[in-house]
Amino acid sequence: MALIHSSYFRPKVNPVKSDENPTEIDRLQDFTGTITLNREKIREIGRDGIVDWRKFTPEVTLTLRQLEYGSLEFYNQLANKSLSSTKVEFKEFKTSMVDIAGYKTDDDGNFVSTIWYPKFRVSGISLAIGDPDALVERTFTLVGEDEITLQNDNKYLIFKKTNPGTGQDQTITISDPTVVADPDNSGAYLFRVGRIRSGTYTELTHGTDWSCDGTDLTINGQSYSSDVIKYVYSASSYISGEEPFTENDSDAAGLTADSCSIYLVDTNNYVYKLQSVGIDVTFDRFDVKEIGNDDVVARGVRDRNISITLGRVLDQWTIEEILRGVAGLDFGKIDPRKFQSNLTLIIKIYTNNTKSSFAIGYKFTDLAPTGLDAGVPLNDYLTRGVTLQCEDGFVTTDENQL
């Protein structure tokens, strides 16, 4: 068998709790998955060696590093929002879930397998402008419990959605492509069935809410005209007339640091001489299990924190004057004890360095400065950094929102 190059690893995202279709993950630079199987040795007194292993629920972490290219599509999918949405607040990732899938083809052009990460949740988001010549990058960290490889007759992962119609015990014929049975579960064909009713997603229970004989999916009970049924299965071929991945040649290849404008407090306070901007959004996730079940049954976020670091070459004390609330006043003393809180940081990113066409922007509110650092390198210019923290922020493609 030929090797699989990253050029033929086609990543897609499926929003579990919205009725949007799966989309490609564009401009991806790095895809890393880490699995911790969580197995514990069982020993006993009187025996030299292991009695057995206890298996806990695995922990899987995904890290996806992506060039900033001015699109909100991936943010909307991660938040389970409509793709037409022009604003995503970071607090909207609290209960959203996505499937991440990588469709693999080898160097000989043979489709080999799909790697599937089901029902993953966002645990962190980062935005990095590394230096004045850098491409802007955004990184997403997601957590879940499973990594599933689909191969041979089950090699294609298929996402479908449909309206079952109105009435009792509605039947949906599954075709294009034909279902292949789940080899781990005798008599089972579908991996998951969910319903969206009045904007609310409910995962349906096999045997109670639905059944499938390999050809027809029956939704038990009353269905309504507005219901959307989403189901996931594996097949030996893909959907007729479609490809797992479509290349995006319409959006920017990547947006650069010289196309960014950074403002502190408001858009009247442009921050000059910046050398780097680092933003880290972290979610303290609270995923609940229960006795008698090895799956996570409820998901939430205890807390979220946003940390922002601004690094610059020191020539004036502009940032410190803004933090002190005396910008433009020729104030004669800067005391960090008197720095303001409830500040705002705005990042505008344009399609090019003429800054005539807005692409995407980030806004962070209720910021408080938490740290300062100074660098005095030998035979070089002085540097200065400031760290700020908050809990609230959003990303938008509508400049008026900023």
Terminal Cα distance for the chain, rounded: 52
Determine the structural domain holding residue 311 and report its residue range.
257-401
Q: What is the largest CA-CA distance in the chain?
A: 80
Band of residue 56 on the pLDDT scale cut at 50, 70, 90? confident
CATH number at residue 289: 2.30.110
Confidence of residue 3 (pLDDT cuts 50, 70, 90): low
pTM of the model: 0.90
Residue 365 lies in a domain: yes
Cis peptide bond prior to 22, omega within 30° of 0: no
Q: Is 185 helix (H, G, I), strand (E, B) or coil?
A: coil
CA distance 143 to 69: 24
Q: Identify whether 76 is part of a domain.
A: no
pLDDT reading at 383 higher than 70? no
Q: Any idea which of 68-77, 278-287, 331-340 has the lowest mean pLDDT?
A: 331-340
pLDDT in tens, 246-271: 999 999 999 999 999 999 887 778 88
Backbone phi, then psi, for 134, in 5-degree steps? -80, 155
6-10, 291-295, 378-382, 392-396: the lowest-pLDDT one: 378-382
Is residue 105 situated within a structural domain?
no
Overall average pLDDT of the 313-333 stretch: 67
How does residue 330 score in pLDDT terms, banded at 50, 70 and 90?
low
**Token digits of residue 12:** 């897609």
Whether 270 maps to a domain, the answer reads: yes
What pLDDT does 313 receive? 58
- Whether 103 maps to a domain, the answer reads no
CA 394 distance to own-chain centroid:
14
> What are the phi and psi torsion angles at 75 (to 5°)?
-60, -45
CA distance 15 to 13: 7
Range with lowest mean pLDDT among 69-73, 138-142, 318-322, 378-382? 378-382
Query: What mean pLDDT is reported for the chain?
Result: 89
In the block, residue with structure tokens 């069935």? 193
Q: Which two tokens stand for residue 138?
A: 């955004």
pLDDT digits (tens, 9 = 90+) for 75-110: 999 999 999 999 999 999 999 999 999 999 998 889
In the chain, the amino acid numbered 339 is F
Residue 35 domain flag: no
Flag whether 278 is in a domain: yes
**Strand, coil or helix: what is 321?**
helix
The answer as to whether 367 is a domain residue is yes
Q: Is 330 left (phi over 0), alpha (psi -120 to 50) or beta?
A: left
Note the pLDDT of residue 229.
97
Q: What Å distances lie between residue 150 and 82, 147, 160, 340, CA to CA?
A: 29, 10, 17, 54
Q: Are 140 and 63 in contact (CB under 8 A)?
A: yes
Question: What's the pLDDT tens digit per position in 351-378?
Answer: 999 999 999 999 999 999 887 776 555 5
* Angle at alpha carbon of residue 377, lines to 372 and 383, rounded to 5°: 35
CA distance 309 to 300: 27
Give the position of tokens 């960290």.
Answer: 141
Task: Give the count of domains, the chain.
Answer: 1
